[in-house]
Amino acid sequence: MLTRRIIPCLDVRDGQVVKGVRFRDHVVMGAIEDLALRYRDEGADELVFYDITASPEGRSADLAWVERLGRLLDIPFCVAGGIRGVEQARRTLEAGADKISVNSPALERPDLIDALAAEFGVQCIVVGVDSEWVDGEWRVRQYTGDPNRMRDAARRTLDWLAEAERRGAGEIVLNCMGSDGVRRGYDLEQLRAARAVLRVPLIASGGAGAAEHFAAVFREADVDGALAASVFHSGAIAIPELKSYLAGEGIEVRR
Amino acid sequence: MTDVAVIDSGVANLGSVLAAFARADLPVRVARVPVELEGASHVVLPGVGSARPAMARLVASGFAEVVPRLTVPVLGICLGMQLLFRSSAEDDVACLGVIDAPVERLRALPGLRIPHMGWNRLDPVADDPLLAGFPEPAYAYFVHSYAAPVGPWTIAACSHGQPFSAVVRARNFVGAQFHPERSAAVGARLLRNFVGAP
């Protein structure tokens, strides 16, 4: 049986891993390779590296660290941040990334998803979605890496998820901004609604604060993976203990 | 002497496969044209993407003619394993025909995620040196929407709504549907077993 994935997310800025609270006020957490190897050793199932400065500034992910990670890691990893076209995606995949994730550029030009899927196959195309509850509905937010540029993407979240899958997304990471960084649990209601409109794997993001939150999101929202950052970086949750707990709860995990 | 040649079939994960051999302390080189397979003790056929362009590249480069006739151990990885079969339902394309069975699309069942993406458990069905030293249970990392059926060629199966071949052997040809280069210790063990390293 397919196991549920535990996915530490490493927000990368200027070659270091950082973490902000509610997407603002970033604090340096450590060096990319040190954290990547630590999580590999602890039993992380996959890693996501997100260059949070890339998209707002129009840069693409620096490929030197992607190449180093590609040589270093023996678990899959995804690179997100500033991938705006097929050639940037190709270079990132050839540098060693197993998947690439697009967010704001796909909102600017949705057929980027079609082009990426046609070129590389849906299995390595992840669409990241930042979503927030606004005026009685979940809405997509764009350019969330920069508080000064962040804006409403003029799309309803559930509509955009369905469109992204139809265009060729092989996996969706849904970041629920209202719960991000505050450690009160994943947004189960929103994730359940997202699960209902998707057939591809769905990864929950935003809100993990305790082991119980992981059990709840797997059990109640039926997500394929749970992504978290600060609780892992700070040591508040250790992955081996988290997996033991989940296994004890009857949730199948790789150990 | 061990001389592993990895076929450059123009796919994006060539570097990842080379790095995996390097991490396992196994010497490895790239073969860009069939003549570079000469002298190789082991041959690896990696692959990601879809079947038709992959087969087209193997035909254009001449590998499609040479690979099925190899007598040294050959390892197909992911799409590279699927290409060892007779045909693929993906793009309805004829493949290398080393194993006389078709690769089919994973059946879409209610609640079943396609692609099959993530870590899943291997179910060994044959005692084969390629699986020696695997932990129990052994988990491997899969990413695919098409799969080979279970048959006499299956040495380890896996299940995602339906059983399918996770590791196969036919004479000197072996294949892994999962990605050894991203399957942590299990993947490294398989690569070392392939070349007969302890």
Q: In which band, very low, low, confident or very high, does the pLDDT at B82 lie, cut at 50, 70 and 90? A: very high
Q: What pLDDT digit, counting tens, does each position of B157-174 carry?
A: 999 999 999 999 999 999
Neighbouring CB atoms inside 10 A of A91's CB total 17
Sort out which chain B residues have CB atoms less than 8 A from A74's CB and list them. 20, 23, 181-185, 187-188
Residue A112 lies in a domain: yes
Mean pLDDT of the A25-47 span: 89
A 11-70 residues with CB < 8 A to B? 40, 45-46, 67, 70
Cβ–Cβ under 8 Å, residues A42 and A244: no
pLDDT attached to residue A175: 95
- Count of domains forming chain A: 1
Report the pLDDT averaged over residues A115-130. Answer: 92
Local confidence band at A221 (pLDDT 50, 70, 90 cut-offs): very high
Instruction: Report the residue of B117, B160, B190 to disrupt the A interface, i.e. the one with the largest count of A CBs within 10 Å.
Output: B117
Residue A253 belongs to a domain: no
The pLDDT of residue A14 is 74
A183 part of a folded domain: yes
The strand pairing partners of B166, in sequence order, are none
Which of A1, A121, A200 lies at the smallest CB-CB distance from B159? A1
Residue at A226 is within a domain:
yes
Q: Which of A2, A40, A45 sits opposite B116 (nearest CB)?
A: A2
Catalytic (active site) residue B116:
no
Contact A100, A60 (CB under 8 A): no
Chain B residue with minimum CA distance to A196: B111
ipTM: 0.92
Distance between CA A66 and CA A78 in Å, rounded?
10
Alpha-carbon torsion (B33, B36, B41, B46), positive or negative? negative
Q: Is the pLDDT of residue A227 over 60?
A: yes
A56, pLDDT greater than 60:
no
Closest partner residue to A90 among B12, B20, B187, by Cβ?
B12
pLDDT of B50 higher than 90: no
Q: What is the pLDDT of residues A142-190, one digit of tens each?
A: 887 677 777 887 899 999 999 999 999 999 999 998 877 677 899 999 9
Q: What is the 3-state secondary structure (H, E, C) of B45-96?
A: ECCCCCHHHHHHHHHHHCHHHHHHHCCCCEEEECHHHHCCEEEECHHHEECC
Active site residue B179: yes
Mean pLDDT of B144-164: 97
Tell whether A255 is covered by a domain.
Answer: no
CB A171, CB A200: distance < 8 Å: yes
> Where residue A213 sits, what CATH number does that domain have?
3.20.20.70
CA separation for the pair A102, A89 (Å, rounded): 9
Is residue B30 predicted with pLDDT exceeding 80? yes
Average pLDDT over residues A228-247: 94
Chain A residues within an 8 Å CB radius of B113: 2, 199-201, 224
Which residues constitute the domain of residue A237? 5-248
pTM: 0.93
A55: pLDDT strictly greater than 70 = no
Nearest by Cα to A32 from A58, A6, A14: A14
Chain B closest-CA separation from residue A93 CA (Å): 6
Enter the DSSP assignment of A86: H
Residue B10 · residue B34 · CB < 8 Å = no
Average pLDDT over residues A87-93: 89
CATH class of B4-194: alpha beta
* A106 occurs within a structural domain: yes
